[in-house]
Amino acid sequence: MLIEHQLESQTLFFQAFQYAPIGMVLVAINGSVLKANSTVCSILGLSEEELLLKTVQEMTHPDDLNLDLAYRDQLIEGMRESYQMEKRLIKQQGEIVWVQITVSLVKNKAGEPQFFISQVINITDQKVAYNEIQEKKRLLLEREQRYRSVVEHAFDFITMHNPDGTYLYASPSCYEVLGYAPEEMIGKAGYEFLHPEDVQIAIQDHIAILQTDKQSNRIVRIRKKDGSYIWTESTSSSLLDSETGELKEIIVVSRDITERIKKERNLQDNEQRYKSLFDYHPDLIYSMDLEGNYTSINQSFEELMGYTKQEMIENPINFRSVVDPTDHEQVEHHFIQATKGFAQRYEASGIKRQGDIRPSM
């Protein structure tokens, strides 16, 4: 072959071509391979003889071919002196190899295109590593977008704080919950918004986070923009620096539990009122289980019948031993009806602890 003869006659060039640490290949204007060094053969897993039977077009990945050919046309037309690009080559078994190529055109003395000289570097490992990094970045971005979407649309009030407690971030729900725009809270200390009686609780919780890096829960009152307070249940957790392990930020998720607190307090008030009515009612009031054993008695019962609450609980007493035997049948009937859910109204005589009969028990 003429080109090979020319190369071999120029010993130094031939040596540089053949043993270059990067791939070197001579390509005809039509794309057929004219000569390739051992590095290119190693990259593609083919012998030089096998490469000489192929064209650049059939070894180039279809998605990269048009750009490669466009650059080659620009070389031939004199629009550029050389070009460099990354592209995929297809090995004999279909395996993909990423390479970086630098291509220039050789012309004869008349200025006519003769062949291309391509320098080829295998960048598969770098490309795979780069793609893995990009994929990780993409997944992290997607995850961040999902988390941000959850935070931005959550009804719970989500905040981030510096280790000193100042607001770094406040979710949009703070406007619905507290009446503040997020920017009105950022840069301010969290303690500024707490009810004075709850500041100490928050301080202790803050110290626990700083010292243990553990999650904590607290119930405190937060001042709204209109000056009123709401009860919140907050969960605080620490975000540590991945390299130093130092506390970086504190994340707090707070929920408005004002209505729950009101209901709990109303229930406690009702229980207290019931207890007062039960304990201090002038009439005898008591409760029994389905066997007829007393489960509770009020103060009037203790005073008039001589029994104590303690002995009623420790040694259950059945109503049948307290009711006057002459009223047993009547009381038994009403007791059975009561166990079926029917309210009963009746009078009977009872036997006091001392053995005396007390009418209208």
Each residue's pLDDT tens digit, 165-223: 899 988 888 888 899 998 999 999 888 999 999 999 888 888 888 877 677 888 999 99
Q: Domain 280-358: which topology?
A: Beta-Lactamase (3.30.450)
Mean pLDDT of 149-161: 68
d(CA 167, CA 182) in angstroms, rounded, equals 10
Residue 65, SS3 per DSSP: helix
pLDDT at site 359: 56
Is 27:56 a contact under the CB 8 Å cutoff? yes
For residue 6, what pLDDT band results from cuts at 50, 70 and 90? low
Give the CATH architecture of domain 154-261: 2-Layer Sandwich (3.30)
Token duo for residue 19 = 């043993």
Q: What is the DSSP letter of 166?
A: B
Q: What is the mean pLDDT of residues 292-305?
A: 86
Structure tokens that stand for 49 in this block:
């003889």
3-state SS assignment for residue 78: coil
Residue scoring higher pLDDT (313 or 98):
98
Q: Which CATH superfamily is domain 2-122 in?
A: PAS domain (3.30.450.20)
Q: If you average pLDDT over residues 319-324, what whole number do you get?
A: 87
**CATH 3.30.450.20 residue spans of the chain:** 2-122, 154-261, 280-358
SS3 content of the chain, % helix, strand, coil (to 5): 45, 30, 30
**Cα(1)–Cα(198) distance, rounded to whole angstroms?**
93
Distance from C-alpha of 68 to C-alpha of 234, rounded to nearest angstrom: 60
What is the token pair recorded at 11? 């010993």
Segment 229-240 mean pLDDT: 87
Model pLDDT, residue 207: 84
pLDDT at 361 over 60: no
| Cα pseudo-dihedral 82, 88, 90, 95, rounded to 10 | 150
CA distances from 162 to 28, 159, 168, 267, 352 (A): 66, 10, 6, 39, 70
Give the residue among 335, 356, 357 at the shortest CA–CA distance from 287: 335
Average pLDDT, stretch 328-342? 88
Q: Are strands 23-28 and 113-122 parallel, antiparallel or unpaired?
A: antiparallel
The distance in angstroms from the start CA to the end CA of the chain is 129
| d(C-alpha 115, C-alpha 29), whole Å | 5
pLDDT band at 146 (very low <50, low <70, confident <90, very high): low
Nearest-angstrom CA–CA distance, 349 and 326? 8
Two structure tokens written together for 209:
């986070």
pLDDT of residue 34: 93
**pLDDT tens, residue by residue, 22-75:** 899 999 999 999 999 999 999 999 999 999 999 999 999 999 999 999 999 999
Q: Return the higher-pLDDT residue of 74 and 10.
A: 74
Half-sphere exposure of 52 (CA within 13 A, CB side): 10
Q: How far apart are CA 346 and CA 234, in angstroms?
A: 54
Residue whose entry in the numeric block shows the structure tokens 């950022």: 186
Amino acid occupying residue 196: P
With cut-offs at 50, 70 and 90, classify the pLDDT of residue 13: low
Task: Answer whether 232's CB lies under 8 Å from 255's CB.
Answer: yes
Contact predicate 23/122, CB 8 Å: yes
Residue 79 phi/psi, 5° resolution?
Answer: -80, -20
Check pLDDT > 60 for residue 348: yes
AA letter at 116: F
Host H or E run for residue 116 = strand 113-122
* 350 vs 107, higher pLDDT: 107
Of 97, 99, 106, the residue nearest 120 (C-alpha): 99
